[in-house]
Amino acid sequence: MQPATPDPMNIQRRTLDIEDYIDVVRRHRAWIAGPMLLCLVVGTVTAFLWPDTYVSSAVVRVIPPQIPERFVPSNVNSEISQRINSMYQSITSRQTLTNIINVYQLYPRDRKRLPMEDVIEQMKKDIRLNLTGGDAKGRVQAFEIRYSYENRLVAQKIVQELVTRFIDENIRTRAAQSSQTTEFLRERFEQHKRDLDAVEEKLTKFRQENQGRMPEERQNNMSAINALDQRMNGLNSQISRANQDKLLLESRLNTLKDQFSRLSVPEAAQQVEMAKNERLAQLEREILNMETNLEAVKQNYKETHPDVRRMKNNIDVLKRTRANLQKEEEAKKAAAEKAPETPARRNNNNLPKEARAMEAEIASIQSLIEARNLEVEGARKEIVGVERNMRSYQSRLESAPMGTGQYEELLRERNTAALRYEEMQVKMTQSQAGTDLERRNQGETLELLDPASLPITPEQPKRPIIIAASAVMGLILGFVVAAVRELKDTTLKNLKDVRAYTQLMILGSVPLLENDLVVRRRRRLAWLAWSTACLAGVAIMAGSVFFYYANKT
């Protein structure tokens, strides 16, 4: 079989080496340098004709309330981040930005060729708000305001204006929210107060129409009857004790009288005299003791208490007895001083001491019996009054209660209205305190931490980066053009191509002979073209640089 004849239209290119790449660069150096020069000029012109953009920034700190919230709750319940975003929306509104643009004459070129809405949108893009900081609960502690503009002094003024508007807007917003909350709570408080007054009026009218037949009055009447019944039992017990004491005292009195009758008359008279003196001393002691007990009882009971009145009656009886004994003693002394000395008088003065003591005891027992009689009499009078009061309360109970269900409904309605009124009163008081706190600027406020900076160097454009990137892009573009031209060129360039594609042995090579005049003319034209291009590029770049620095100064 004969070997297959290779297709001359389908010949694979040989692999290039370093020398081949150098030859490619040498052959296409003009196509590589041209795009590079063009991109360098375009990049330089673009970099220096691009207006500078200066960025001024300021940091605002969030100061927490000076008074803890457990003492004065705040009326503003929104988070600081939400309020900052809300204030940012208000400050960057169309009306506000239009006012700022007209006052500071911003974007003069854009205003000439664009509508105001587009200029406002551009300014919104130039304003940036960055929330910085944060505590353990994620609350914002500071935020940064940045503004980009071609004039650094104007950029600083705009940032100052924005910071001022943020601080004023925060004060206004918090004061407005707090005042609205307080006003709302005041209206609710007044409404609850009117509701409570209406219910109280209904309840008062119902009580007046059903006076004496109310459910609480029935309970009070029952309690009063029980108390009177207990007092009746106490009075009966008191009378029984007083009668028993009286019987014992009368028995003792009869015994003493029998003993005293057995004594001699003179001795008895003398003993009676001594008994009177001892009786006076004993009455003084009893009066003193009873007055002391009366003061102790007054600390626990009122003047109208039965025990207090009984003790006062006993003290009055003892005082009258003491006064009678003193008068009798003084009368006897006066009569004895005027009367002549007689044997009977001498005998009476010689009464035995036992008779005088017995006489004093008899007088004391008689006074005690009298006190018991007075006590029994007072208790019986009080029983009459207690029975009269019991009949009065019993007659009240006999009348049937009316409107119990309606009255209970009114009570429930009154209690509910009173509870709502008290709760709203507490809330309104707290809200009023919060409003006063905001009016004094002692709530959560904004403070300028870092004032608006005056930028020195522009943030945009990055000219060295733009120029270098343009040169690199031009170089890459030149290499691409050279590669494309090399791929489209199928001619044999050197001996390596001849050996590779003809598979023949090379015995020698004849150099290309050209006219020297034509070669020199071609070179002059090439140098002239490149010189002109380079000078033009340098002139254009120098002009853009000069234009930039001329306008900058």
Q: Please identify which residue in the block is written with the tokens 């005088």.
A: 356
Q: Are 348 and 201 in contact (CB under 8 A)?
A: no
Residues 6+ apart with CB under 8 A from 60: 142, 143, 144, 145, 163, 166, 167, 446, 447, 448, 449
Query: Rounded CA gap, 29 and 478, in Å?
Result: 8
Element (H, E) at 376: helix 353-398
- SS3 state of residue 492: coil
Highest mean pLDDT among 141-145, 296-300, 301-305, 386-390 belongs to 141-145
Q: What is the pLDDT of residue 171?
A: 84
Count helices and strands in the chain by DSSP H and E runs:
16, 4
With helix as H, strand as E and coil as C, how does 188-253 read? HHHHHHHHHHHHHHHHHHHHHHCCCCCHHHHHHHHHHHHHHHHHHHHHHHHHHHHHHHHHHHHHHH
**Band (137; pLDDT cuts 50, 70, 90):** low
Mean pLDDT of 141-153: 88
Minimum mean pLDDT among 45-54, 348-357, 534-543: which range?
A: 348-357
Minimum mean pLDDT among 15-19, 273-277, 283-287, 540-544: which range?
A: 273-277
Residues 448-467 pLDDT 10s:
888 888 888 888 788 888 88
Q: Are 435 and 182 in contact (CB under 8 A)?
A: yes
Confidence check: pLDDT of 16 > 50: yes
Bridge partners for 58 per DSSP: 145
Cβ count within 10 A of residue 31: 20
Q: What is the pLDDT of residue 298?
A: 65
Highest mean pLDDT among 58-72, 256-270, 305-319, 451-465 belongs to 451-465
CA 166, 170, 171, 172 torsion: positive or negative?
A: positive
Q: What is the pLDDT of residue 346?
A: 44
Minimum mean pLDDT among 283-292, 308-317, 471-480: which range?
A: 283-292
At 172, the amino acid letter reads R
- SS3 state of residue 362: helix
Q: Are 140 and 84 in contact (CB under 8 A)?
A: yes
Q: What is the pLDDT of residue 159?
A: 92
**Band (393; pLDDT cuts 50, 70, 90):** confident
Query: Rounded CA gap, 353 and 275, in Å?
Result: 8
Using a pLDDT cut of 70, give the percent of the chain over it. 76
Residue 55 has phi, psi (to 5 degrees) of -115, 115
Token digits of residue 45: 């012109």
Mean pLDDT of 258-272: 55
Q: What is the pLDDT of residue 73?
A: 73
Minimum mean pLDDT among 78-92, 241-255, 270-284, 388-402: which range?
A: 270-284
Going from the C-alpha of 290 to that of each of 208, 282, 295, 403, 431, the distances in angstroms are 48, 12, 9, 53, 62
Residues 273-309 pLDDT 10s:
555 556 666 776 677 667 667 766 666 666 777 777 7
Query: Rounded CA gap, 371 and 365, in Å?
Result: 10
Residues 341-374 pLDDT 10s:
444 444 444 445 676 777 777 788 878 888 878 8
**Band (135; pLDDT cuts 50, 70, 90):** low
Half-sphere exposure of 393 (CA within 13 A, CB side): 19
Q: Nearest 5 degrees, angle CA 110-CA 113-CA 114?
A: 70
